[in-house]
Amino acid sequence: MRGAVPAAGVMPTFQFLPFSALLGTLGFLCVVFTGFWSQHWRGGFAWDGSTKMFNWHPVFMVTGMLVLYGAAVLVYRVPSSWAGPKLPWKLLHAALTLAAFVLVVLGLVAVFGFHNAQGTPNMYSLHSWLGLAAVLLFSCQWLMGFAAFLLPWSPAWLRIIYKPIHVFFGSTILALAMAASISGINEKLFFSLTNKTVPYAKLPPEAWFANSLGMVILVFGLLVLWALATPAWKRPESESLEARQPLLH
């Protein structure tokens, strides 16, 4: 039947666009649920070294390291990115990741500021190690991507060699961000829901809500990774043609 199977190099827009709407909804829920948890159960927000300062940490990290970063890695799956010059999409990808990086820095300032004000040790938990690994890889990824794909004097051979590495670590960073987010939720619940309140094991409403947030984060991240791995949604391009095109001029 004509049109039943997309021709080679043709984006199946009827599949991707509803899928992207689903991802947008899940990403929005990740941010809203994180903010609601911090506001409703954890006391709200401030910038004073108290637990309210810490509450900015999950909001900034989920918004930046997970949702904005997830959107950035899918820029080249947008159907309209298939036609015309690639430079505007490169700039959008760079801008989204830069915005994510700014939020990540603010998230780190919030958590380290809270720990230092309260005399709490830094970087002792598995959650913090996973988060630091994600942030360090993310920083290197952004700098290398900017140097390889946006600077006009970047040699063609560097772009060709580095591209598969860039793609691999893009997925790896998102997976690390998912692991750090979920382990951070679990860690916060264990610290907050003790015998002085309602134990975590009793599954009070906060535990149900935060566990559900973790599941939404998991589904969002897995769907982003699935979209990245779907061959039909990858932009077909000629590496030799891309290598000859100046990027910033």
Say what the pLDDT of residue 191 is. 93
Report whether pLDDT(247) > 80: no
For residue 5, the model assigns a pLDDT of 41
- Given a cut of 60, is residue 63 above it in pLDDT? yes
More confident residue, 173 or 12: 173
90 is written with which tokens? 């490169």
3-state secondary structure of 132: helix
Half-sphere exposure of 68 (CA within 13 A, CB side): 21
For 43-59, how does the pLDDT look when each residue is reduced to its tens digit (9 = 90+)? 999 999 999 999 999 99
**Across 52-69, average pLDDT:** 98
Residue 65 buriedness (CB in 10 A; 0-12 / 13-18 / 19+): buried
Q: CATH: 3.10.20.600, 1.10.3720.10, 3.60.120.10, 1.20.120.1770. Which one for 17-232?
A: 1.20.120.1770
Residues 138-148 have a mean pLDDT of: 94
3-state SS, 62-125, equals HHHHHHHHHHHHCHHHCHHHHCCCCHHHHHHHHHHHHHHHHHHHHHHHHHHHHHHHHCCCCCCC
Domain ranges of the chain: 17-232
What does the mean pLDDT of the chain come to? 89
Residue 201 is given by DSSP the state G
Residue 248 has pLDDT above 50, yes or no: no
What pLDDT is recorded for position 239?
46
- Return the DSSP state at 47: S
Q: Which range has the worst mean pLDDT, 34-38, 142-146, 213-217? A: 142-146
Residue 17 has pLDDT above 70, yes or no: yes
C-alpha triplet 115, 120, 123: angle, nearest 5°: 80
Q: What is the pLDDT of residue 7?
A: 47
pLDDT of residue 124: 95
Rounded Cα distance between 94 and 150, Å, is 9
